[in-house]
């Protein structure tokens, strides 16, 4: 009896070790998948993972291998696998992966599928299907879903999206700390589109987007700080925001910085610009 118990316990210990190894292996696959293929705009992305806008060609085989290994238990990995297939030019495989990820609730996969149907890339063009996918993603708080839904409606000649509805969808996405949603909502709030105009609220939204290095958020936060719009005037902070936006290629930020450096325009008698005074 004693011997049998020892053997049984030992056997269970081995099984537990094997189970632990399998879990560890799956985790390692997911980590490696995220490292080379995670989408920085995916709300499922782990907070400690930066993500990549475009999967490097040299990383595609690695991404496909490890994302496929992790995809059985992770909708994020399945979505990343779709991205890897896109990068390798395997459209049908990418669509299949996006569908599976979307079925598991990945809103980013829904958006990618919607874009595919809207453009007719590898599937027959289907604006109605694209709209359904964008709507589902938007209702779940995905900022790109809301933005693409509005764009699709305009492009297909349909009735423009109700600005109140769009603002509500963006507000929901902004609560999830999406920098794109914060920026887009800030634009609506600064203009009073779909609801009250509120410069102070818009400034807060732009600063939240700027904190995540969103180029548009940085530009708007800089312009608001320079002009004292929605809060105290802060030239140093404004210029710092604009410099960061400029470094990311934002042309509006570059123009605003130029105007800040040359605030006085000298004109002739007819009011025609002659030169600018820069400091």
Residue 7 has a pLDDT of 34
Higher pLDDT, 268 or 226: 226
> Helices (DSSP H) in 120-142: which residue ranges?
127-139
Same domain, 102 and 225: no
pLDDT higher than 90, residue 187 = yes
Terminal-residue alpha carbon distance, the chain: 92
Within a domain: 201: yes
18 domain residue, yes or no: no
Residue pair 183/216 in contact by the 8 Å Cβ criterion: yes
pLDDT at position 177 over 60? yes
| Whether residue 65 is found in the same domain as residue 145 | yes
Check: CB of residue 185 under 8 Å from CB of residue 191: no
* Mean confidence (pLDDT) of the chain: 85
Structure confidence by residue, pLDDT tens digits, 58-73: 999 999 999 999 999 8
Return the closest-CA partner of residue 82 out of 105, 46, 109, 59: 109
Is 168 within the bounds of a domain?
A: no
Determine the average pLDDT of the residues in 105-132. 94
- For position 158, what pLDDT does the model report? 60
Which range of residues forms the domain containing residue 259? 179-279
Averaged pLDDT for residues 74-103: 97
- Residues of the chain with pLDDT > 70: what percent? 82
Asked whether residue 212 falls in the same domain as residue 267, the answer is yes
SS3 call for 27: helix
What pLDDT does residue 161 have?
Answer: 76
Query: Is 96 inside any structural domain?
Result: yes
Q: How confident is the model at residue 20 (pLDDT cuts 50, 70, 90)?
A: very low
72 and 140 co-located in one domain: yes
Q: Tell me the whole-structure pTM to 2 decimals.
A: 0.67
Which pLDDT belongs to residue 258? 85
Residues 46 and 145 in one domain: yes
Residues 123 and 219 in one domain: no
Give the model confidence (pLDDT) of 140-165 as tens digits: 888 889 888 888 876 666 667 789 98
Instruction: State yes or no: pLDDT of 1 exceeds 80.
Output: no
138 shares its domain with 253: no
Give the domain CATH number at 262: 1.25.40.10
124: left (phi over 0), alpha (psi -120 to 50) or beta: beta
What is the arithmetic mean of pLDDT over 223-251?
96
Q: What is the DSSP letter of 203?
A: H
Lowest-confidence segment of 17-26, 178-187, 221-230, 263-272 by average pLDDT? 17-26
Q: Please check whether residues 121 and 35 belong to one and the same domain.
A: yes
- Per the structure, the count of domains in the chain is 2
Final residue of a domain: which of 128, 161, 194?
Answer: 161
Q: Please tell me the distance from the alpha carbon of residue 66 to that of residue 240, in angstroms, as a whole number.
A: 40
If asked whether residues 149 and 49 sit together in one domain, one would say: yes
What is the pLDDT at residue 268? 63
């Amino acid at each position: 009896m004693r011997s049998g118990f020892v053997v049984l316990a030992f056997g269970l210990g081995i099984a537990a070790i094997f189970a632990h190894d399998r879990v560890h292996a799956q985790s390692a696959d997911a980590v490696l998948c995220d490292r080379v293929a995670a989408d920085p705009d995916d709300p499922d992305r782990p907070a400690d993972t930066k993500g990549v806008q475009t999967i490097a060609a040299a990383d595609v085989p690695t991404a496909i291998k490890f994302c496929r290994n992790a995809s059985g238990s992770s909708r994020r990995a399945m979505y990343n696998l779709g991205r890897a297939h896109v990068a390798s030019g395997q459209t049908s495989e990418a669509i299949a992966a996006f569908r599976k990820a979307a079925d598991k609730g990945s809103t980013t996969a829904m958006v990618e599928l919607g874009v595919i149907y809207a453009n007719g890339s590898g599937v027959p063009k289907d604006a109605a299907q694209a709209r359904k996918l964008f709507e589902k993603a938007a209702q779940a708080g995905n900022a790109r879903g809301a933005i693409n839904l509005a764009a699709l409606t305009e492009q297909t000649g349909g009735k423009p999206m109700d600005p109140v509805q769009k603002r509500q969808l963006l507000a929901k996405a902004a609560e999830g700390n999406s920098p794109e949603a914060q920026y887009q909502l800030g634009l609506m709030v600064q203009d009073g589109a779909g609801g009250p105009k509120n410069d102070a609220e818009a400034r807060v939204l732009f600063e939240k987007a700027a904190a995540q290095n969103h180029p548009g958020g940085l530009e708007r936060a800089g312009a608001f700080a320079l002009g004292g719009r929605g809060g105290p005037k802060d030239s140093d902070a404004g210029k710092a925001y604009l410099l960061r936006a400029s470094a990311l290629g934002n042309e509006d930020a570059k123009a605003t910085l130029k105007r800040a450096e040359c605030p006085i325009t000298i004109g002739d008698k007819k009011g025609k610009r002659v030169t600018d005074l820069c400091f």
